[in-house]
């Protein structure tokens, strides 16, 4: 299991890509503050300190962070949650 972390054009967003399928089908999933999803992994990511919203599609999850949060600590926390779900 391997997670690749990639910067995006948005400095407040990072893309976390798995070598395994996370979300089946051709639909994307977004979770905004105050919302929940049918996917526990997205709901747990939303509980991390500093996460503003999440977006998932097939092999990847994009995390949008709050403006006052640094990526250093948040990246490790996101990777831990993703690994906990076996990706």
pLDDT at 1 over 80: no
Listed as own residue / partner, the contacts of 23-27 with beta carbons closer than 8 Å and 24 or more positions apart are 23/56, 23/57, 23/58, 24/58, 27/57
* Residue range 3-84 in CATH 3.30.1370.70: yes
76: left (phi over 0), alpha (psi -120 to 50) or beta: alpha
| Structure-derived torsion over alpha carbons of residues 48, 52, 55, 59, reported in degrees to the nearest 10 | -40
32-62 per-position pLDDT tens digit? 999 999 999 999 999 999 999 999 999 999 9
- Which pTM value belongs to this model? 0.95
Kindly list the domain boundaries of the chain, sorted by start residue. 3-84
């Amino acid at each position: 299991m391997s997670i690749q972390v990639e910067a995006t054009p948005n400095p407040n967003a990072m893309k976390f890509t798995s070598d395994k399928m996370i979300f089946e089908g051709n639909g994307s999933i977004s979770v905004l503050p105050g919302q929940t999803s049918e996917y526990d992994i997205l709901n747990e990511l939303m509980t991390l300190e500093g996460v503003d919203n999440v977006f998932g599609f097939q092999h990847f999850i994009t995390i949008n962070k709050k403006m006052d949060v640094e990526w250093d600590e948040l990246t490790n926390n996101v990777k831990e949650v993703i690994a906990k779900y076996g990706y």
